[in-house]
Amino acid sequence: MSKSVAELQEMARKCRVEIVKMVHRAQAGHPGGSLSEIDLITALYATRMRIRPQEPKWPDRDRFILSKGHASPGMYSILAEMGFIEHEDLKSYRVLGGICQGHVDMKWCPGVDFSAGSLGMGLSFGMGCAVAARLENSNRRAFVMLGDGEMQEGSIWEAAMAAAHHELGNLKVILDRNRIQNDDFCEEQMRMFDIPAKWKSFGWNVKEIDGHNMSEILEGLDFLEAEENCNGPSILIAHTIKGAGVSYMENNPSFHGAAPNDEQFHQAMIELGEVEA
């Protein structure tokens, strides 16, 4: 729980290396959204999640639901860092029979609590986990990571309304606002206007942060956990850069769902400090 900002940054760097390796090895996958979310996920897992990596099904664990389940390399890399799976397992990403399925899947991978892959579903599932915790008088929380593109799914707003109606203070959302979706920039595909105002108007506690500034991320997580914000659901809107950490992927819609070639891979390893130039 007491990791320093520098330690968290180093952990995230190692995860970034694994993300790029996974996608390069598979020659498929989603590096952009994995790199945009990874600082957030790293801080969450390393400093907040009440979990037992050796007992992944511990009933009172906090749940982490990656609704944007295509950004699975990010989640697999942190699961390996935390000890839920081995680093060797990361080689099974998108490989027949491998535990690291293309989209995170609770039936395949230890530490995964939601079978994702279809956008707009994770918030509802997280709400169910939060209701279950309440019914059992458990203090476990459900953390849900949403992508910004998936807010275009109507079911997200069904869940947003229902979670506020039921005052689910144990439901915590982190929005990876990386501004790019599959085909193009969100602004081109479907403008979403004032996102914080939308969530506020649905009855949520809202805070905005820079999703790559580790100190701000920790403050944001404090906000999600703060007693005064446990009267209902809360959302942390994290402004991020798609592809963050690899120059040619940054803000580049082409790397939403594409793998680097060998030359690009080598460049990424240099930029991430894994090999010398």
Partner 1 sequence: MTRNAATRDGYGQALLDLAGNEKVVVLEADLGKSTKSLHFRKAHPERTVSCGIGEQNMLLVGAGLASSGFIPFASTFAIFTERAFEQMRNGIARPNLAVHLCGSHGGTHTGTDGSSAQSIEDLAVFRTLPNVIVLHPSDDVSTRLLTMQLAETNAPSYMRTARNKTPVLYDDMDPSAIQIGKGIELMDGKDVAIIACGVLVSESLKAAEMLQKEGIHATVVDMHTLKPLDGKLIEALVQRCGALVTAEDHNVIGGLGSAVAEYLVSNIMAPLEMVGVKDRFGESGQADEMLDLMEISSEFIAKAAKRALSRK
Binding site for partner 1 (CB under 8 A): 59, 105-107, 113-115, 117-118, 120-121, 124-133, 135-136, 142, 154-155, 158-159, 161-162, 165-166
Using the minimum distance from each CB to partner 1, give the nearer residue, 60 or 188: 60
Q: What are the C-alpha distances in Å from 35 to residues 4, 14, 274? A: 21, 11, 16
Using the minimum distance from each CB to partner 1, give the nearer residue, 59 or 273: 59
Using the minimum distance from each CB to partner 1, give the nearer residue, 57 or 191: 57
Using the minimum distance from each CB to partner 1, give the nearer residue, 87 or 165: 165
Determine the 3-state secondary structure of 86 from DSSP: coil
Please name which of 144, 174, 143 lies closest in space to residue 236, comparing C-alpha atoms. Answer: 174
Q: What is the CA radius of gyration of the chain?
A: 17
CB of 68 to partner 1, least distance (A): 14
CB of 142 to partner 1, least distance (A): 8
Using the minimum distance from each CB to partner 1, give the nearer residue, 168 or 218: 168
Using the minimum distance from each CB to partner 1, give the nearer residue, 7 or 136: 136
CB of 58 to partner 1, least distance (A): 12
Question: DSSP readout, 202-237?
Answer: TT-EEEEEETT-HHHHHHHHHHHH-GGGTTS-EEEE
Using the minimum distance from each CB to partner 1, give the nearer residue, 117 or 208: 117
Using the minimum distance from each CB to partner 1, give the nearer residue, 16 or 70: 70
Beta strands 142-147 and 171-177, pairing class? parallel
Determine the 3-state secondary structure of 114 from DSSP: coil
CB of 155 to partner 1, least distance (A): 4
Beta strands 205-210 and 171-177, pairing class? unpaired
Question: DSSP readout, 51-68?
Answer: --TTSTT-TTPPEEEESS
Output the CA torsion 239→78→64→159 (10° steps): 40
Task: For residues 40 and 59, give the distance between their C-alpha atoms in angstroms, rounded to a whole number.
Answer: 24
Please name which of 206, 209, 222, 174 lies closest in space to residue 64, comparing C-alpha atoms. Answer: 174
CA 203 to chain centre: 23
Q: Which helix (H) or strand (E) holds 74?
A: helix 72-82
